[in-house]
Amino acid sequence: MSEKKPGFFSRLAQGLKRSSTQLGDSVTAIFTKRKLDAAALEELEDALIAADLGAPAAARVTERLARDRFDREVTDEEVRAALADVVSETLMPLQCDLDVTGMSPQVVVFVGVNGSGKTTTLGKIAVKLKREGRNPLLAAGDTFRAAAIEQVSVWGERAGAPVIKREIGADAAGLAFDALETAERDGHDVVLIDTAGRLQNKAELMDELRKVIRVIKKKMPEAPHHVVLVLDGTVGSNAVSQAEAFLEAANVTGVVMTKLDGTAKGGALVQVAEKFRLPIHYIGIGEGEEDLQPFSARDFSRALAGLED
């Protein structure tokens, strides 16, 4: 896994402060001078579900505490440690770099709802790839919004990577086809394709996304090699329905969760992971290039539980 910039854990912990504080306040309220009895366990399970962790993970935390500490006094620190252990165990098998080695060009399509941070994530990954000596090509496939096309262009400049773009309203599938042709002709080893943000309940927009994927496959049957779903960390449990819709439409292969700074809903990543078992590539805690980092299950779980590194 790529090395994290020193201090990333402290920034992650700060970013998840609202999530960990909400959890911590609930735990403290339940367990101040109180034995771990059935009623306390039920309250804890409800608090964890309210923090968007999801019922299965919440049940595992309470089961672990019941096994080890039932009918004894328990501290909030012990509850936090159990929470961190369960979250880490759930997410560790899904901690996975975005691997763009292999057949060239590697094609990566970014999908997600409006405002999830999809275009910015694509740009930050382009910068990282360029620094690693790769030769990425960017495709501004959100042809609905001039701002999105401009945003990809700006990231292309930052990364020193060319951008394939068209006028507003151009056919996104045709643009993706052109990007693959350009990559093959000019020797680009990675193609990063942005797509229009779409709500998961808009059938015609999802149909258009399916068309983009179909056209890519016509040009290159084994592509796209990755379909990365970018989820907004502030949407909480709604992330589950988003993941469901995009999995059906685009065969998502991995997840990036952004905007974990300042949200009380960071636990939703556990819920998505639990339900879909999708690899988690990166998490984002801010706007800067260094605020998108490879996912670490241990760091995330400890920050979420409000524990020190």
115 is in an annotated binding site: yes
32 is in an annotated binding site: no
261 is in an annotated binding site: yes
Residue 153 amino acid letter: S
130 is in an annotated binding site: no
133 contact partners, CB below 8 Å, separation of at least 6: none
113 is in an annotated binding site: yes
33 is in an annotated binding site: no
Distance between CA atoms of 109 and 228, rounded to whole angstroms? Answer: 6
Nearest to 106 by CA among 293, 3, 4, 254: 254
Half-sphere exposure of 71 (CA within 13 A, CB side): 0
Nearest to 229 by CA among 205, 207, 214, 249: 249
Place of tokens 């994290």: 4
188 contact partners, CB below 8 Å, separation of at least 6: 105, 135, 136, 137, 162, 182
116 is in an annotated binding site: yes
117 is in an annotated binding site: yes
Structure tokens at 30: 């339940």
Place of tokens 């990166």: 282
Structure tokens at 100: 């763009």
114 is in an annotated binding site: yes
How would you classify the pairing of strands 292-294 and 280-284? antiparallel
Provide the 8-state DSSP code for 288. Answer: S
Distance between CA atoms of 201 and 196, rounded to whole angstroms? Answer: 14
194 is in an annotated binding site: yes
Place of tokens 């771990």: 36
C-alpha torsion sign, points 140, 146, 152, 157: positive
253 is in an annotated binding site: no
- Residues that constitute the known binding site for GTP: 112-119, 194-198, 258-261
- Residues that constitute the known binding site: 112-119, 194-198, 258-261
